[in-house]
């Protein structure tokens, strides 16, 4: 059935108006300037209960639409995001801090519509598990019911779509709890999507950690999609235990990159840089520890310093900038303390390391730290900001051992001109994804998830869809 739905086109100011609470709430400040961006509601747990009840009431008819119809709604939601892409990117830039340009705000809004469309495009058919002329067993994926989604502040819109799109596609309705740091981005995105979706299929309940805790423990939630820190992931495992909730946990990472001695330094320098500094380093699967063979160590350091010098950092709405501030004071302090610890240990700060004290906003300069010991806090702790430690190694065994030494394993990368050699090294790394000659390049068709304490469950692709379904065997 083809449906025509008028897609509204809004300005950023109209979106902020539409999502503002009629009373109460709190001001959200721009991390680059300190200016007020807008006002976000602070919902209560009673309001969360009500949203979950509405989502449950809407779920049956949403499930009954079937895959084709739901996919067409996802495509329409993508059209709505595209029609409002500039307004959404501006809001995202002002609230999160990320620049409009580079792999940042416009890129993130673009990813929202492409993830919606790709998620709509997959075929998911019942699987014949046994069909041998004697017995039959088919594996179906039924809707789970109501899915809760809790997200972080680094890629607030994109990660919301990562959680919401497969959940909706599989016939579930969704209640989202955005990060308290970036609620406006998520509320505005959902507002735009809801101009084309049926009522109560997708709702956002903005509030503090208490709302996240209540959602995790709620009897009306059948599955929880969580993206955030490992510490919060562990709290969610505990609070969801009594309801035996299904969980997908995308948690913290501390991704290693290993540069092999045969690397073409010039060819990879830009990609190495963006692997680490995408979203000013505030990315779960960013390169956070770089291991470089001693033969090319100086060359790689020099090349990265050169690339760093060519990447302007500043207020996100200024078109020339491709790096922005840290999103919040806490994260700024974490990065500053880790770099100070590294400096005090005798490591060499090749560039950066000295934030300007007179500048408004949480700007921390692009920082590269060399001659650093693998046991340094800047290496072993997730910095989640623009400060990359570069560690020297002599043998591949040593590099692999260092890469695998931590209890997290989200992504990793190997950099080499010899793909077969790189694949051999990749197979030895304990991480959910190992990229070769790139880092953090997620794709809506390719399953993504962490190993070790970076979480469990997969997102994206048909595998990701299956995780939002209740498997059911029909056997006869």
Residue 432 is a binding residue for ligand NAD (CB under 6 A) = no
Pick between residue 142 and residue 445 the one whose CB is nearest to ligand NAD. Answer: 445
Residue 280 is a binding residue for ligand NAD (CB under 6 A) = no
Residue 450 is a binding residue for ligand NAD (CB under 6 A) = yes
Q: Which residue is nearest to ligand NAD (CB)?
A: 212
Pick between residue 150 and residue 260 the one whose CB is nearest to ligand NAD. Answer: 150
Shortest Å, Cβ 141 to ligand NAD: 22
Contact window for ligand NAD (CB under 6 A) among 33-41, 177-185, 295-303, 361-369: 177-185
Contact window for ligand NAD (CB under 6 A) among 120-128, 152-160, 287-295, 317-325: 152-160
Of these, 212, 281, 352, 461, which contacts ligand NAD (CB under 6 A)? 212
Residue 353 is a binding residue for ligand NAD (CB under 6 A) = no
The whole-angstrom separation of Cα 19 and Cα 24 is 13
In contact, 396 and 374? CB cutoff 8 Å: no
Site for ligand NAD in 455-474 (CB under 6 A): 455
The whole-angstrom separation of Cα 222 and Cα 5 is 30
What order of strands is seen across the sheet that includes strand 246-250? 202-204, 173-177, 146-150, 223-227, 246-250, 455-456
**Residues contacting 231, CB < 8 A, separation 6+:** none
The whole-angstrom separation of Cα 272 and Cα 156 is 24
Residue 433 is a binding residue for ligand NAD (CB under 6 A) = no
List, in sequence order, the alpha helices (H) in 65-206. 66-83, 85-96, 105-121, 156-169, 183-194
The whole-angstrom separation of Cα 196 and Cα 327 is 31
Pick between residue 117 and residue 177 the one whose CB is nearest to ligand NAD. Answer: 177
Residue 185 is a binding residue for ligand NAD (CB under 6 A) = no
Residue 150 is a binding residue for ligand NAD (CB under 6 A) = yes
The whole-angstrom separation of Cα 406 and Cα 230 is 13
Residue 180 is a binding residue for ligand NAD (CB under 6 A) = yes
- Phi, then psi, of 433 in degrees rounded to 5: -135, 135
In contact, 350 and 370? CB cutoff 8 Å: yes
Shortest Å, Cβ 330 to ligand NAD: 8
**b/e per residue 351-387 (b: at least 16 CB within 10 A):** bbbebeeeeebbbbbbbbbbbbebebebbbbbbbbbb
Of these, 79, 86, 138, 213, which contacts ligand NAD (CB under 6 A)? 213
Contact window for ligand NAD (CB under 6 A) among 28-36, 63-71, 205-213, 270-278: 205-213
Pick between residue 364 and residue 384 the one whose CB is nearest to ligand NAD. Answer: 384
Q: Is 250 a catalytic residue?
A: yes
What DSSP state is assigned to residue 253?
-
Residue 108 is a binding residue for ligand NAD (CB under 6 A) = no
**Residues contacting 260, CB < 8 A, separation 6+:** 293, 396, 414, 415, 416, 418, 421, 422, 425
Site for ligand NAD in 220-259 (CB under 6 A): 227-229, 232, 235-236, 250-253
Residue 99 is a binding residue for ligand NAD (CB under 6 A) = no
Q: What is the 3-state secondary structure (H, E, C) of 58-90?
A: HHHHHHHCHHHHHHHHHHHHHHHHHHCHHHHHH
Residue 31 is a binding residue for ligand NAD (CB under 6 A) = no
Tokens for 7? Answer: 């897609």
Shortest Å, Cβ 430 to ligand NAD: 15
Residue 345 is a binding residue for ligand NAD (CB under 6 A) = no
Tally Cβ neighbours within 10 Å of residue 75. Answer: 17
Contact window for ligand NAD (CB under 6 A) among 175-183, 299-307, 389-397, 464-472: 175-183
Tally Cβ neighbours within 10 Å of residue 395. Answer: 10
Q: Which of 95, 112, 180, 284 is flagged as catalytic?
A: 284
Pick between residue 58 and residue 91 the one whose CB is nearest to ligand NAD. Answer: 91
The whole-angstrom separation of Cα 387 and Cα 385 is 6
Of these, 62, 153, 456, 460, which contacts ligand NAD (CB under 6 A)? 153
> Which residues have a catalytic role annotated?
250, 284
| Residue ranges binding ligand NAD (CB under 6 A) | 150-154, 159, 177, 179-180, 209, 212-213, 216, 227-229, 232, 235-236, 250-253, 284, 382, 384, 410, 450, 454-455
């Amino acid at each position: 059935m083809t449906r025509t739905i008028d897609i509204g086109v809004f300005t950023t100011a109209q979106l902020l108006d539409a999502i503002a609470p009629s009373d109460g709430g709190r001001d959200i400040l721009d991390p680059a300037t300190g200016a007020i961006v807008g006002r976000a509601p602070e919902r209560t747990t009673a309001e969360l209960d009500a949203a979950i009840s509405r989502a449950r009431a809407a779920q049956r008819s949403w499930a009954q639409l079937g895959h084709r119809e739901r996919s067409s709604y996802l495509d329409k939601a993508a059209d709505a995001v595209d029609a409002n892409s500039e307004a959404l990117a501006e809001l995202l830039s002002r609230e999160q801090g990320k620049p409009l340009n580079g792999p940042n705000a416009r890129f993130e809004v673009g990813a929202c519509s492409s993830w919606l469309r790709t998620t709509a495009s997959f075929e998911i058919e019942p699987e014949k598990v046994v069909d041998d002329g004697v017995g039959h067993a088919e594996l179906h994926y039924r809707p789970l019911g109501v899915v809760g989604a809790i997200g972080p502040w680094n890629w607030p819109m994109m990660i919301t779509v990562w959680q919401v799109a497969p959940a909706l596609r599989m016939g579930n309705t969704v209640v989202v709890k955005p990060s308290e740091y970036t609620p406006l981005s998520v509320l505005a995105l959902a507002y735009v999507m809801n101009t084309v979706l049926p009522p109560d299929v997708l709702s956002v309940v903005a509030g503090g950690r208490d709302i996240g805790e209540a959602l995790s423990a709620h009897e009306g939630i059948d599955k929880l999609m969580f993206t955030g820190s490992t510490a919060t992931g562990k709290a969610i495992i505990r609070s969801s235990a009594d309801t035996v909730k299904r969980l997908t946990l995308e948690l913290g990472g501390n991704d290693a990159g290993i540069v092999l001695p045969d690397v073409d330094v010039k060819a990879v320098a830009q990609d190495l840089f963006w692997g680490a500094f995408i979203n000013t380093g505030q990315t779960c699967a960013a390169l956070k520890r770089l291991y470089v063979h001693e033969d090319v160590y100086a060359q790689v350091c020099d090349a990265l310093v050169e690339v760093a010098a060519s990447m302007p950092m500043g207020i996100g709405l200024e078109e020339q900038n491709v790096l922005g501030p840290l999103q919040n004071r806490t994260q700024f302090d974490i990065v500053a303390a880790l770099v100070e610890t590294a400096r005090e240990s005798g490591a060499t700060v090749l560039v950066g390391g000295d934030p300007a004290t007179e500048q408004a906003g949480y700007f921390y300069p692009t920082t590269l730290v060399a001659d650093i010991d693998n046991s340094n806090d800047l290496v072993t702790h997730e910095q989640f900001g623009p400060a990359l430690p570069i560690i020297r190694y002599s043998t591949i065994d040593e590099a692999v051992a260092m890469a695998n030494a931590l209890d997290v394993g989200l992504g990793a990368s190997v950099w080499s001109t010899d793909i077969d050699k790189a694949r051999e090294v990749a197979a030895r790394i304990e991480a959910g994804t190992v990229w070769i000659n790139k880092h953090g390049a997620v794709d809506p068709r390719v399953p993504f998830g962490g190993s070790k304490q970076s979480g469990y469950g997969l997102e994206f692709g048909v595998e990701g869809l299956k995780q939002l379904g209740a498997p059911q065997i029909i056997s006869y």
